[in-house]
Amino acid sequence: MSYYSPTPEENEAYKHLFTAATRGQSSSIGGSDAVKFFIASGLPVPVLKQVWGIASNGQKEMGPREFSTAMRLIALAQNGYTIDENILRSTEGAVVGAPKFQGIENPVTPPTPQVPPAMATATPSPPMAAASPTTWAIPSEQRAGYEKLWNNLGKNPQGLLEGKDAAAFFAKSGQSRDVLRTVWQLADVGGDGNMDLAEFLIGMHLTMMAKKGVQLPSSLPQDLLRSAQRHLRNPRRIPQHFQHR
Ligand SMILES: [Ca+2]
């Protein structure tokens, strides 16, 4: 069974699309109606068949949950991902927004690109640009979200997130190249081009703050560094220079 858990924004968009697909008259949609609707995505029919195959979980009708999964798959395909059996897992956290269907207006305008689910729930963005924070320390509930993201990322044999994978991951935040460069410079404390967990936590938190409109610091705040090191289960992963603080 494979299901996608949409972010709140995606959920709104998917619900709207479900209503559009069923004309609000049914709590499920059958294969032929679904394909008729899916066609408006502009994707090739073989891709749509794959979408149906994965999302329907072998059922003849799709309820909202299966439909949401289909919407995720279509959005991924529209963003250039190749749909396969493992696509939901391999794209966990990927930011693609809601799928687009010709002739169907999406009432929810999700910020494009959206943030990965864990980032989205970690902190609600305030409507206005935030002032400089009084502390850069990572609140524990946000930290838990960041760690979850970390756990889902592929690592090299040393347990490190490689630079190119980190770059691809942080690019999904939708932040500008300049911001991402600053995040990387501050977060790769060890300067080895890879990220350990502590460095990842720093990178995540800086990215979240930048998303909230906070100006990033020019050097790494000590309270951020300290909070990233705290509660590490495997302190041996911390680069040596961390241990002097
Ligand atoms: Ca590093």
170-195 exposure pattern, b = at least 16 Cβ within 10 A, e = fewer = bebbbbeeebbebbbebbbbbeeebb
The amino acid at residue 10 is: E
Domain 8-90 belongs to what architecture? Orthogonal Bundle (1.10)
According to DSSP, the residues that pair with 101 across neighbouring strands are 104
Distance (Å) from CA 190 to ligand 1 centroid: 4
Distance CA 222, CA 61 (A): 54
Burial class of residue 152, CB neighbours in 10 A (0-12, 13-18, 19+): middle
Tens digit of each residue's pLDDT (9 = 90 or more) over 26-63:
899 998 889 889 999 999 888 999 999 999 988 899 99
Distance (Å) from CA 244 to ligand 1 centroid: 16
- pLDDT category at 107 given cuts 50, 70, 90 is low
Spell out which residues have Cβ within 5 A of ligand 1, the ion: 188, 190, 192, 199
130-149 exposure pattern, b = at least 16 Cβ within 10 A, e = fewer = eeeeeebbbeeebbebbbeb
Distance (Å) from CA 204 to ligand 1 centroid: 14
Distance (Å) from CA 157 to ligand 1 centroid: 15
Per-residue pLDDT, 116: 52
Distance (Å) from CA 143 to ligand 1 centroid: 19
Please list the residue range(s) of the chain that carry CATH number 1.10.238.10: 8-90, 117-244
Distance (Å) from CA 78 to ligand 1 centroid: 34
Distance CA 180, CA 210 (A): 9
Average pLDDT, the chain: 84
Lowest mean pLDDT among 96-100, 147-151, 217-221: 96-100
**Range 117-244 classified under CATH 1.10.238.10:** yes
Distance (Å) from CA 89 to ligand 1 centroid: 26
Give CA 181 to chain center in angstroms.
Answer: 19
Distance (Å) from CA 163 to ligand 1 centroid: 9
